Amino acid sequence: MRTDPVTRRTMLGRSAAAGGALTLGALLPGEAMAAGRSTGTADATANAAAAAKKGGYERIGVRPLINGRGTYTVLSGSLILPEVREAIDAASRQYVQLDELADGVGRRLGELTGAGFGMVSSGCSAALTHASAACTAGGNPDLHIQIPDLRGFTKTEAVIPKHSRNVYEAAISAVGLKVVEVDTREEMKAALGPQTALVYVFAMPRVDESELDLKTIAELAHAEDVPVLVDAAAEVLTIPNVHLERGADLVAYSGGKALRGPQSAGMLLGREDLVRAAWVHSAPHHGYARGFKVGKEEAMGMLAAVEMWVRRDHKAEYAKWTSWLKTIAKRVSAAVPGVTSELVQPEGLSNRTPTLNLYWDAEKRGVVGQTIVDALWEGEPRIAINPASGKNPGQSGLAVTPYMLEPGDEKTIADHIVRRLKNPPPAPAKPKPPSVDASGTWSLEITYAAGSSSEHGLTLKQDGAKLTGTHRGDFVSRAATGSVSADEVTVRSSYGEEHGDSLSYAFTGKLSGDEMSGRVDLGEYLKGSWKATRTS
């Protein structure tokens, strides 16, 4: 994460994040890290790697993978640390009262991070929802049980700068808050008032590129007594916390990414009164949030992950990741003539890992990066990496992120890239001249992966092999583009994150007379089928 619609992952992969060009040493826990770093973590992780590969997935027909992409939730995030596994196991062996546990964990998280107070949630998205409820209802049980019906509430709106609109803001509106978008300082001043529950900021590069940077947002919001919530899901944890230092009141993190805690956990840090209120608006309490349950195992596992964060040797980890990428670059460049490499050392906070880009002339090599990516995904072992856009015309490439690799994975990745480049998979068939005309208005029926169906519409205009038009959905119409090869039709449409949501359709099928049918790929919403009838 967001041509695909922009996602958190693609935005997090772009240059500097909200913190700007800060060095790793300035961001990571300095004295605490040096004083208490664990020398046994790397060895313990390596020793556990073999056992981790035997997770029992194959016996139910699920293929494990080597993760060279990063902390993607759909790829199950990161591998938890051995110390986290131990904490989870220990926590599972005794009973505890969960409100007392939340208090003890919250105080300890505050001590470790210097952030006042903390709370473990069932993922970062849940942390955002609980924080929004805290800013809306303040821990008042009488209000809590009404959420998300905010009729009669004073605070009913969440202000979100245009640069922070994204799919994850659904966690904010889930509380019932109306989103008010602003793009300038004057618009924000006009939007803030007694009805404003909070301002939500998505930590990413576009924040500092706007006149509404975090410091400015905090100044304007605090003048109206409105708290500021930062979504830092995939970022490294900074001590002292860079977002709180810049004026945020609350900041939320994923537990199963950089922290290598439980994949089903997240963390909220910040003002103690608001974090304590967020816990009131969380399970095991009833109401809207009962489903966001956090067990004693996740709570103690998340705490162990933070305790390890301040002990881990982050510089040594970073050096190890860089060395793995150099091994891949050296092996591939030496074995495959014409391949060049680029090692990118990112700045900023988010997903802080180096990235290796491998480039080649696509025409001379006879293969593009996406074809190699697909072949590695389907191969054995299954390997997940990303395609890379070439720097020069005609170039294609691959991108490898080492964050989630285990020792030895770098050699496996290098060997399989070499094999695929030396013996490329068959290239996709070249387009043929159109033999049909898809122009017109079409009644479109989609059957989704879950079996339910929906009536949509397509209006298409064909110019040679090129298609343009409109895809009308259940609620929203979006621009459609595509192409025709012989009697095969491809149509794509997307609804971007600038609206606070993201949804893409890729229709492929055959046209005969006034009927079309085929398969539709909805990305994270899986695949389905479709058929269309021309009405005019």
What's the confidence (pLDDT) of residue 12?
41
Residue 68 forms part of a structural domain: no
Residues 398, 479, single domain; the answer is: no
Tell me: pLDDT of 47 over 80.
Answer: no
Q: Residue 280 belongs to a domain with what CATH number?
A: 3.40.640.10
Confidence of residue 38 (pLDDT cuts 50, 70, 90): very low
Tell me: pLDDT of 13 over 50.
Answer: no
Tell me: pLDDT of 153 over 50.
Answer: yes
Strands 515-521 and 503-512: antiparallel
**From CA 401, how far away is CA 399, in angstroms rounded?**
7
Domain finish residue from 353, 388, 422 = 422
Domain range holding 319? Answer: 314-422
Residues 389, 410, single domain; the answer is: yes
Task: Determine the 3-state secondary structure of 428 from DSSP.
Answer: coil
Phi first, then psi, for residue 400 (nearest 5°) are: -120, 130
Confidence of residue 37 (pLDDT cuts 50, 70, 90): very low
CA 192 to chain centre: 29
Contact 507, 497 (CB under 8 A): no
Residues 404, 463, single domain; the answer is: no
Residues 455, 381, single domain; the answer is: no
Contact 366, 28 (CB under 8 A): no
Eight-class DSSP state of 180: E
444-503: pLDDT as tens digits: 999 999 989 999 999 999 999 999 999 999 998 999 999 999 999 999 999 876 677 789
What's the confidence (pLDDT) of residue 43?
52
Confidence of residue 134 (pLDDT cuts 50, 70, 90): very high
What's the confidence (pLDDT) of residue 233?
93
What's the confidence (pLDDT) of residue 23?
34
Tell me: pLDDT of 390 over 90.
Answer: no
What's the confidence (pLDDT) of residue 206?
67
Residue 19 forms part of a structural domain: no
Residues 107, 214, single domain; the answer is: yes
Confidence of residue 78 (pLDDT cuts 50, 70, 90): very high
Residues 177, 199, single domain; the answer is: yes
Q: Give the pair of three-digit tokens for residue 165.
A: 């609109």
Preceding omega of 240 cis (within 30 degrees of 0): yes
Residue 36 forms part of a structural domain: no
What's the confidence (pLDDT) of residue 465?
97
Strands 157-161 and 65-67: unpaired
Residues 271, 299, single domain; the answer is: yes
Domain finish residue from 309, 327, 356 = 309
Mean pLDDT computed over every residue of the chain: 89
Residue 60 forms part of a structural domain: no
Q: Residue 349 belongs to a domain with what CATH number?
A: 3.90.1150.10
Among 211-220, 224-233, 399-408, 422-431, name the one with the lowest average pLDDT. 422-431
Residues 280, 363, single domain; the answer is: no
Residues 112, 170, single domain; the answer is: yes
Tell me: pLDDT of 360 over 50.
Answer: yes
| CA atoms within 13 Å, Cβ hemisphere of 207 | 28
Tell me: pLDDT of 52 over 50.
Answer: no
pTM across the whole model: 0.87
Tell me: pLDDT of 90 over 50.
Answer: yes
Residue 188 forms part of a structural domain: yes
Residue 85 forms part of a structural domain: yes
Confidence of residue 51 (pLDDT cuts 50, 70, 90): very low
Contact 499, 478 (CB under 8 A): no
Q: Give the pair of three-digit tokens for residue 438.
A: 């898809």
> From start to end of 401-514, where are the E strands?
440-447, 453-463, 466-472, 477-485, 488-495, 503-512
Residues 506, 488, single domain; the answer is: yes
Q: Residue 495 belongs to a domain with what CATH number?
A: 2.40.128.120
Q: Count of domains in the chain?
A: 3
Question: Alpha-carbon Rg of the chain, whole angstroms?
Answer: 25
Tell me: pLDDT of 75 over 70.
Answer: yes
Residues 291, 214, single domain; the answer is: yes
Domain finish residue from 422, 449, 478 = 422
What's the confidence (pLDDT) of residue 93?
98
Contact 231, 168 (CB under 8 A): yes
Phi first, then psi, for residue 153 (nearest 5°) are: -75, 150
Residues 385, 471, single domain; the answer is: no
Tell me: pLDDT of 50 over 80.
Answer: no
